[in-house]
Amino acid sequence: MSTRTWEGLSIPAAGTYNLDVAHTNIGFVVKHMMVSKVRGKFDSFAGSVTIAENPLESSAQLTIQADSIDTGVADRNGHLRSDDFLAAEKFPEITFQSTRVVGHSGDEFTVAGDLTIRDVTKEVELTVEYGGAGTNPYGQEVWGFSIKTEFDREEFGLTWNAALETGGVLVGKVVKIEIEGEANPA
């Protein structure tokens, strides 16, 4: 892979890289009934990262198809696609567009950007861990990353909930996003 050394890291050369959807997982976690966690993922998405000559000026964008949500339970998936949550027919895409790299320490970067869900846009910060670069056995250049963030779903209009007889609510407010992935030259 065409790499360069920057602040002790071996990073990809400047250029645009597309997410490798076969090797990327966009997952989420939400509390259920205040006692456990429901995990899910999105199956249809596309995105890219443009690494600048100065890596701190790099940018990224991601588009997720809202109706591709999958928690492993058909009824729950249908409810999450409905107007109670994602309203996937009215708002088919969830998007993220980076606005700036806030800072970094070693292989960890903090990236700020605009997350849009249901036509509501809010700034979020992502913690991005750079995983390294290499060439796979088929000669394709790849580099890897792990991303984490969390946000209050109600700020995006995802306010449906149900009170529990024992106190508390059915669905937690905080959504944790966990992305593991790879990117290849565009």
Report the distance separating Cα 113 and Cα 102, nearest Å: 10
Q: What is the pTM of this model?
A: 0.92
11 vs 50: CA distance, rounded Å: 12
Cβ atoms of residues 68 and 42 within 8 Å: yes
Give me the DSSP letters along 136-172: -TTS-EEEEEEEEEEEEGGGGT-----B-TTSSBSEE
For 38, residues 6+ apart whose C-beta sits below 8 A from its C-beta are: 29, 30, 31, 32, 71, 76
pLDDT at 25: 97
> Helices marked H in the chain — which ranges?
74-81
State the sign of the Cα–Cα–Cα–Cα dihedral 9, 131, 104, 185. positive
Which class does domain 3-185 fall in? mainly beta
Residue showing tokens 């700034």: 123
What pLDDT was estimated at residue 172?
84
Token look-up 């998007």 returns 95
The tens digit of pLDDT for each residue in 156-179 reads 998 887 777 777 777 888 899 999
Q: 16: closest CA among 79, 61, 65, 56? A: 61
CA angle 5, 143, 16 (to 5 degrees): 85
- What is the per-residue pLDDT for 1? 56
Full pLDDT tens readout for the chain, 186 residues? 588 999 999 999 999 999 999 999 999 998 877 778 889 999 999 999 999 999 999 999 999 999 999 999 999 899 999 999 999 999 999 999 999 999 999 999 999 999 999 999 999 999 999 999 988 888 888 999 999 999 999 999 988 877 777 777 778 888 999 999 999 998
